[in-house]
Structure 1
Amino acid sequence: MVRIEIKKRYTVRKSKLSEIYRDLKENIGQSSELFKSDRVEIVETTADLAIYLVDRKPYLMEIGGSVFPTLHGAVDRPFPEKRITVDPGAIPFMAKGADLMRPGIVSASDDIKKGKPVIIAEEKHNKPLAIGIALMDTEEMMAAETGKTAKNVHHVGDEIWSLEI
């Protein structure tokens, strides 16, 4: 990934704010309430990426055309939706940005849809490791025995994680 630098930062208008929360609610349901705030800012970056600051912290981002929590948001304000749990063997690969392969999956929530963002968490402590785009629905994912199941787009230690605001 190319080094991300901040170009501009400004407060989101109320009309845009309602769109953001509507999209977030479509993705993570009632847990979207965890991210509600009167003060939300948008950070324009040098990358093709929109990051939203909730109470001055990078908790939301626009990914795959959808608003979804960043890893910081998922760690600080945990939610159960759109979650794939992986075994300890997958952790080093996910932390380096590898895509998620089926053999590493222990469980997946029932609400995962192909082409939509998901959170990838480790099994022991249930801590988020990465945000990915699902390559298949839950049923298809759990029925598969091999192959890629999610594309890793944001992981611990990447440019988004290390972005200083």
Structure 2
Amino acid sequence: MKQVTLSKKDIKDLNSEIKERYGREDFFAKNDFLKLADDTYVIKDGEVVFFYRENVLLPSLKLVLKNNFLKKVIVDMGAVPFAAKGADMMRPGIVGVDTGVEENDIVAIVDEKNLKPIAIGQSLFSKEEIQKMEAGKIVLNLHHVGDEVWDFSVGE
């Protein structure tokens, strides 16, 4: 596995990308010790915090479980096992959508009981469009418990 330590400039660029995509300023301190593994995984304290998929920077589920800064799509408890195994979310399983969700937004898929993130997805429609729909695929599941990002570990 190839790992490189990110420079202060790299961290500044990463912060700019996070601000542009997620609206979060100065996510990382310029003195944070970050690594990039396999040109894909941004590592902090031995854990994946962000990763690239098809040139898009995505937060890891482990990060979102600690600090959910994403808009949410809420699913009923019947959809939870499917989301947790990587299934895309269909309209019948969705019980709520945060205000401001737009087409192609990266969202946290959360369960209705605990509002706990169970997956990271990409909304295929805006909240307004979703509310008018009765069927169909609504959210692409991009990252879930047990996938390669969740299981990625940095050898010491």
Code of the residue aligned with 1:14 in structure 2: it is K
Deviations, residues 76-102 of structure 1 (Å, cap 9, x unaligned): 2232x3211111011011112110111
CA distance in 1, matches of 2:14, 2:110: 24
RMSD of Structure 2 on Structure 1 (CA):
1.9
Question: CA separation of 1:152/1:144 partners in 2, compared to 1, >3 Å: closer, same or farther?
Answer: same
Q: In the alignment, which of 24, 43, 49 is matched to residue 59 of structure 1? A: 49
**Which consecutive unaligned segments of at least 5 residues does structure 1 have?**
1-6
Determine if contact 2:49/2:60 at 8 Å carries over to the other structure. yes
Note if 1:135 corresponds to 2:124: yes
Determine if contact 2:104/2:122 at 8 Å carries over to the other structure. yes
Count of matched residue positions in the alignment of Structure 1 and Structure 2: 152
Note if 1:12 corresponds to 2:20: no
Runs of 4+ more than 6 Å apart = none
| TM-score where L is the length of structure 2 | 0.86
Structure in which a larger fraction of residues adopt helix: 1
Determine if contact 2:119/2:143 at 8 Å carries over to the other structure. yes
Code of the residue aligned with 2:17 in structure 1: it is D
Aligned to 1:4: none
Code of the residue aligned with 2:2 in structure 1: it is K
CA distance in 2, matches of 1:19, 1:112: 25
Deviation at 1:8, TM superposition (A): 0.9
Where do 1:91-110 residues align within 5 Å? 91-110=80-99
Determine if contact 1:114/1:134 at 8 Å carries over to the other structure. yes
Identity %: 35
**Which consecutive unaligned segments of at least 5 residues does structure 2 have?**
none
